[in-house]
Every structure is written in structure tokens, then in C-alpha cells.
Amino acid sequence: MTKVSPSLLAADFLHLDREIQMINHSEADWLHLDVMDGMFVPNISFGFPVLEAVATICQKPLDVHFMIERPERYIAQTAKLGAMMMNVHQEATVHLHRTVQEIHAAGMKAGVTLNPSTPVNTLEDIITDVDMVLLMSVNPGFGGQKFIENTIVKVKRLRQLIADSGSHALIEVDGGVQGETAPRLVEAGVDVLVSGSYVFKATDPEAVIHGLKQL
């Protein structure tokens, strides 16, 4: 069954408590948390004080997506939070292999994220070491953007790379995931759907999550 990881970036920040209770009550598998630094991406979202507060009440595993330069600086702090998955951008860390080993040593699963313009084959030499590949289907930094169509063929290429290498990595896609794009992504081979505005801006977010789970 498809996993769903709603992105808190699209939530009502004035009522985070209520939004997280909704997630706890829903069929969401994980909660996706987007950390931005205004350097790697042209926006700033939230940091550890907010993550720590969220972690105290969220009953779903935390899927943390770092859109920051040199994310390896925050491995220990992320582990302390109790995060299940730490996603780092391939473009933001020079020694990706070391970063992945350190994430594992800290007790978390390691996800590697690719920007829309970064080819899947750059993962050839790391694919058997990672637990997940997060493909960006928009340029990272903002919610509510238009899905980049090339992601579909990229998912298929990644599915092939995973099969050829014997890797157990999951494929997650993030950006513009909604009613029209989600079924096509699952058909192409996606395991985990991240969805922000489609879930949180809906009149019935729990029903939307339920719908995505059926794909």
C-alpha cells in the first residue's frame, strides 16, 4: 500500500496543535517536515524549536527533509528529536557517503534527495547504502508549485536502478502531488507520496489522506 507523508509546510501555523492531532488521527504513515535555511533554497521555513515542539505530540514517524547547506552539521540534533528518517540533498553535502554512514550511526534511516535537475544515475554508487531516495518534483523551497512532468520518467529510471542494484531503497516524491499526479506517480513506481497543500488546504484532510492511501 502507498505510504503517505503529509508536509506540515502547508499547515495552519497558528494552530499546529490541531493540525498534528488531525495527522495523528488520520491514516498518514509519516509526517514530512521541511527545514530550509535561505541559502540552499531561497526560503526559510522552521527549525529545531518548532521540530522539538512537534515531536512531543506527533505520534507518526518523522520524515525530516533538510533543504540546507551541509546538513551533516545537524545529524546529532535530528537524532535527538527522535526522527525516523533524515533526508539530505545530494547537492548540499560534499561527502554524501560519510553523511549517510553518520545518519545510520545516529540511529536514523538515511534518505538522499535529488533536485529536479540532478540525474538519478548520480546515485549509482550509493544506492545500496540508502533507505530512501526523495525525488523533488518541484524546485525545493515553496509549497503549492506545479508538478514537473519529467519526474514520471525519473521515477521509472530510479525504479530500474534500484532493481538492478538489489537496493531496498524506497522512492518518495515531493512537490505538486495531488489528485491528478498521485496515481501516475504510484503507477510509475513511487512508494511514498509527500503532499502539502493538497492535504492541508482540503476541507477534509483526513479523507484526502485516505484517498491517497488507496492508490
Q: Which residue is nearest to ligand DX5 (CB)?
A: 196
Among 21, 118, 145, 165, binds ligand DX5 (CB under 6 A): 145
Number of residues that bind Zn ion (CB under 5 A): 3
Cα distance between residue 154 and residue 29, in whole Å = 24
Among 126, 195, 208, 212, binds ligand DX5 (CB under 6 A): 195
The CA-based diameter of the chain, rounded to the nearest angstrom, is 46
Q: Taking CB under 6 A as the rule, does residue 90 contact ligand DX5? A: no
Determine contact, residues 133/112, Cβ cutoff 8 Å: yes
Q: Which is nearer to ligand DX5, 40 or 72 (CB)?
A: 40
- HEC string of the chain equals CCEEEEEHHHCCHHHHHHHHHHHHHCCCCCEEEEEEECCCCCCECCCHHHHHHHHHHCCCCEEEEEECCCHHHHHHHHHHCCCCEEEEECCCCCCHHHHHHHHHHCCCEEEEEECCCCCHHHHCCCHHHCCEEEEECCCCCCCCCCCCCCHHHHHHHHHHHHHHHCCCCEEEEECCCCCCHHHHHHHHCCCEEEECHHHHCCCCHHHHHHHHHCC
Q: Taking CB under 6 A as the rule, does residue 111 contact ligand DX5? A: no
Which entry of ligand DX5, Zn ion, none binds 141, CB below 5 to 8 A by partner kind? ligand DX5
Q: Which is nearer to Zn ion, 123 or 194 (CB)?
A: 194
Among 29, 72, 131, 174, binds Zn ion (CB under 5 A): 174
Query: Residue 174 is placed in which grid cell?
Result: 515531493
Residue 174 CB, nearest approach to Zn ion (Å): 4
Q: Taking CB under 5 A as the rule, does residue 89 contact Zn ion? A: no
Q: Which is nearer to ligand DX5, 90 or 165 (CB)?
A: 90
Residue 104 CB, nearest approach to ligand DX5 (Å): 23
Catalytic residues: 34, 174
Residue 37 CB, nearest approach to ligand DX5 (Å): 12
Q: Taking CB under 5 A as the rule, does residue 65 contact Zn ion? A: yes
Determine contact, residues 22/15, Cβ cutoff 8 Å: no
Among 4, 7, 11, 55, binds ligand DX5 (CB under 6 A): 7
Chain residues in the site for Zn ion (CB under 5 A):
34, 65, 174
Give the binding site for ligand DX5 (CB under 6 A): 7, 9-10, 32, 34, 65, 138, 140-145, 174-177, 194-198
